[in-house]
Structure 1
Amino acid sequence: MAHLDWFGTAFHSTDGMQHLDVRQSGNGVLITSSPAEIDGAPAMWQLRLRNDDGQGLNELGAALASGRAHGLSVGQGPGYETVLMFMPDHPREGVGTLARVRTVGEIGGGVTIERRAERPMALWGEAGENLRRIVPRLSPDAPPVTEAENCLPCPGCGRPVYDSSPSHNLIGGPVPVLGLCRLCVDGSTLRHLRQAAVPIAPPAARCPGNHGRRHGVGRTPLDHGYRVTKRCPRRCPACPPRVTCRNDGCPIFI
């Protein structure tokens, strides 16, 4: 059976790209939020959920798709319970939060948010629809996954790239770039950002000493995919070192 997955991205005006990946993982699913918050620090959150009877995953998918609150118990121990909670329109309207919460003791006891990811409600809705599409096609004979699948962020956009995801290498520049996602390689990421009017390449400033070298003022590395440091050819005091792309000297941001 072919590997089942779905991927979506939202763009935040200050936090940048926010990725959400839903895929088959053995006899269950793996939901990856990048970036997310783990123990109060930014990180990639890999949430693996087993498909014990199909009902729990289908209910979660239905809740995400319809935008309603939902809770799913994912672990218990002496005196505590771990719950996966989806909170629509939280912390503000139009944004939903998926969180792993640990409760201690009886009702009214201590509550700790261990992990959380905020995404637009529309993105959670798409994830829910695709989760409902994936669950019925999971094989009950597939072995459970005991180890986390290797995952690295795409160097172009930060999308989580798994071993089972198509990835590509960019060779030919001074610094080869490995593990690019297919959307960065074929230009889709850059094209979508431009269609959404996301500011990508502010005007570059020419060398103050009029030496013909353009210096960077903030450009995305998505354009050409590799980076190299250069200096003004005359090293004038007004021209500090900048990071530039070798493609016609255009500046990029690192």
Structure 2
Amino acid sequence: MTPYSDVLIVGAGPAGLSLAISLAQAGFTATVVEQQPESALAHPAPDGREIALTHPSRATLQRLGTWAQLADDEVGTIDEAQVHDGPLGHHSALQLSAPRHHRGPTDHALGFIVPNHALRRSAYAVAARMAGVRILAGAQVTRVSVGAQAEVDCTTASDGTAPATTKRLFAPLLVAADSRFSATRRQLGIGAQMTDFGRTVIVCRMRHALPHGGVAHECFGYERTLAVLPLPDAANAAQGGYPLCSVVVTAGAANAATLMALSPESFAAQVQ
């Protein structure tokens, strides 16, 4: 295995893997270093987050080939969005509807809803089979330096059959895609300014009796904000046919702790 590539990417999340795919499509070679094991990349566990995507974002995923890896029950559409000044049910301060004229079955949508873990899985599925992409899973970055070229030392732990090994990788360009708390960035001495707003985000899925009609709601209150995002009808089968929504509650730390201590029924009543 050659230690040289055109670009070194630390972090195999959707951003890092999408960049690697795009580079390979352009004729470059990319090496991706990721501390998680290959099994976690190939089959990431659901984390409760649903990602809202615009049409340009979907077009990017289609160009990368990752959109085609998503199952039908993983892609939902937002046909209308309502912003409420207060709790759900109050008069909406802003209402956005999808255009009446469209060219395809999903072109009418304002946007799309896809689970975060599905985006991670689809990105890995495409990147792992591309000739220009090499993924080093289960590898911990131990040293980073930059000069005429970037150097990265990474160590893979022993799996019981082979001892731990250390590799030194080289590339003209290094990309730190290992989250907003990037250890790579810190090793290079690059600072970042962060602000803690003292807010906690709670995400979950909810069953409900009435159809959501593809409508997303954003409710702004003084104590907390609430987002209700419609999930695809194909996902309802696993929930006994009930419509599903993704619920995102943003609240102060104390209020969030109180909500998390409630039973599912009491939590649903509070959200409503």
TM-score by length of 1: 0.22
More helix by share: 2
- Larger relative contact order (CA 8 Å, sep ≥ 6): 2
TM-score by length of 2: 0.21
